[in-house]
Structure 1
Amino acid sequence: GGGKGAGVVTGGQVVKLKQGKKTFEILAKSGAAAQFKEGKISVEDAIEVEGVFYDAHKMTTVSSSDLKSAFGTSDILECSAKILEKGEFSLSTAEKRQKMQERLDEIIRYITLNFRDPATKRNYPRDSIEAAIKTAKLKVDAEKPAKQQIDPILDKLREVLSIERIETDYVIKYHSKYGSVLSILKRYAQVKSVKKDTEEYFVCDVGISPSEFDRLMKELQKPTDGDFEIDAVGSGNEPKAAKGPSAVLKLGKGSKTKEKSSGKAGKTKKHEKKK
């Protein structure tokens, strides 16, 4: 069975992991759990006390049979590494403050890059966004990724600041054999319409914000190996019929072409940025 408590421990940082009906705890050095997750330190350097406990403060040790059934091993360091990797832990006040500041910086950076003043058509400087966030008494969640918080933050921000999204419209064309393309587009762009122009090709109208463009291009490379076409709407670059499927793209008003990829039918031409 498990060991009895060896007194109460108050220092360090408790990391907990629930496996089945049982909760397993370890005592890590203060701030070490986050560093371990980022690969900066080893498990040996991360733990304050070597042991896995039912309650780390009371130091009631877990039986080797419980460890084995939960982690497939009774090796303390291996189990500790798994708990550090997947477990939950409370941050110190200083860590919380730092994490909050990092998340706030990330949100401000995202807004200054992807939104602008509709009157001047210029991006807001960082100071303006920071001041507006304070004026609107916005609460930022340090634990939530910035992108998940943007929409509610923008709703509040619009009460004190005139703001619009910067977005360029593109037409993207790809072969239907690349089934994952649409889900990638939905993740990194605003998909406005999707239509099948032939049995084999899909044509999508999308709006892409500046911060997502390079990431989207990179993600589209994976399933297609560059075998897709993208044109900025209104670029005036009507592709020639000789270039194959892209000839059917109907381009409307918009901005200049930023990106172009076209391959002859049946062949793959790598999608590259024009310098």
Structure 2
Amino acid sequence: GCSPSPTATIGCMERANTLLVCVLVGAVIHTASTSSTTLPCAISPSPRIASTWQHRVDSLEPPFPSLTPIVGRLVLRGGGKGGDSHHKHNQEEPVLCRYKKGGTHFEIMCLPTLVEQFREGKASRDDAVVGREVFKDAKKGDRPSAAELEATFGTASHEECIDIVLAQGEYQLTVAQRKAKTDEKFAAIVTYICSNYIEGGTKRAIPAVRVEEAMNHLKGLKIDPFRSVWFQAQDVARKIKEPLKLVKNEISATVTVSMALAGPASGVLHSNGGIAKVVEEYEEDKATFTFDFTAGEHERIVSDLTKATGGQYELKIHGADVSQEG
């Protein structure tokens, strides 16, 4: 015989390749129809997260319709080659983090453990989120308008809105995660009460074990893993005040700043729930604030005043021999 032409050879190869692809696809579909086969493929929804999407062909429940494959469900798993932190959490399931304000709520997809690290300043936004979109309903792919974002967050920037949702939103927890977070909040409330209250009769510090026992005997006490320690501690302190004879361990102090910094200093003192009885006095070149605060608030007051005034203030504790300058 005669040798086939180059064109004929190429045509045969193309048909053979097409046939091979069809056979492989058919085999995958046949296998998937009888089991929950997964086809992993690496992606990077944000700069510092490498995720794995699993295409499960036994259901159709995409969390992000714009990224929906022809068939299958996308399951995003955080982690990857971004460092040791990511390796530790590369099997963590993403969950919804919800932020409610007024009659509206917004959602983002996040990794629970990394949300906590974000709030502690140990992880970035890109570490904690999966995708970079804010939703009104993530399951339906319902996105808010720029006007809706502006009305709720004061900005239409998705990145700034995501920061707020991560910092203040509530996210779904497993039973183990909820218990661990609730236990942590319980311990923080005990610490707060011991730091800010004393025994009324003896003026002595109250042992943590007594506070714990009193809290454990309160009927119907529910610790919210998301609500702030300060608010919950106030409520608990009111309920155990009588049996433990609690009184606030209050300290009197005076802060002096220049007139140019009077506004920021006043804002700090009036916004702190642990500060009471603020008396303001103004002179030509300086402002003086006299107030009472609970002992456990000292570090926070110093930190907030330093940020607000750039360290340009003088704090004098009444009864102490020295004053503290920022």
TM-score calculated relative to the size of structure 1 = 0.62
Shift of 1:257: 1.2
Percent of pairs with identical residues: 17
After superposition, residues 102-251 of structure 1 pair within 5 angstroms as 102-137=184-219, 138-179=221-262, 180-186=264-270, 187=272, 189-196=275-282, 198-221=283-306, 222-223=308-309, 225-228=311-314, 230-232=316-318
Q: Secondary structure at the match of 1:185?
A: helix
Q: Secondary structure at the match of 1:123?
A: coil
Shift of 1:157: 1.2
Residue number in structure 2 paired with 1:75: none
| Number of matched pairs | 224
Shift of 1:208: 2.7
Among 80, 86, 90, which residue is 2:165 paired with? 86
Shift of 1:161: 2.0
After superposition, residues 3-152 of structure 1 pair within 5 angstroms as 6=71, 12-16=93-97, 26=109, 31=113, 33-35=115-117, 39-40=122-123, 86=165, 89-137=171-219, 138-152=221-235
Q: Structure 1 unaligned segments of length 5 or more: list them.
A: 72-78, 233-255, 262-270
In 2, Cα distance between equivalents of 1:108 and 1:15: 30
The structure whose RCO (Cα within 8 Å, separation 6+) is larger is 1
In 2, Cα distance between equivalents of 1:145 and 1:199: 40
Q: Secondary structure at the match of 1:130?
A: helix
Range with greater deviation from structure 2 (116-125 or 203-212) = 203-212
Change in Cα spacing, 1:24 to 1:203, as seen in structure 2 (3 Å) is closer
Q: Structure 2 unaligned segments of length 5 or more: list them.
A: 1-64, 77-92, 150-157
* 1:213-259 C-alpha deviation (Å, 9 max, x unpaired): 23323333341633435251xxxxxxxxxxxxxxxxxxxxxxx3154
Residue number in structure 1 paired with 2:323: 260
Shift of 1:97: 0.6
In 1, Cα distance between equivalents of 2:278 and 2:182: 34
Range with greater deviation from structure 2 (199-208 or 29-38) = 29-38
In 2, Cα distance between equivalents of 1:229 and 1:84: 33
Shift of 1:174: 3.0
In 2, Cα distance between equivalents of 1:99 and 1:226: 38
In 1, Cα distance between equivalents of 2:180 and 2:186: 10
Shift of 1:113: 1.2
In 2, Cα distance between equivalents of 1:183 and 1:97: 36
In 1, Cα distance between equivalents of 2:189 and 2:135: 38
C-alpha contact (below 8 Å) 2:135/2:144 kept by paired residues: no
C-alpha contact (below 8 Å) 1:36/1:46 kept by paired residues: no
Range with greater deviation from structure 2 (155-164 or 2-11) = 2-11
CA RMSD of aligned residues (A): 4.3
In 1, Cα distance between equivalents of 2:165 and 2:302: 31
In 1, Cα distance between equivalents of 2:106 and 2:225: 25
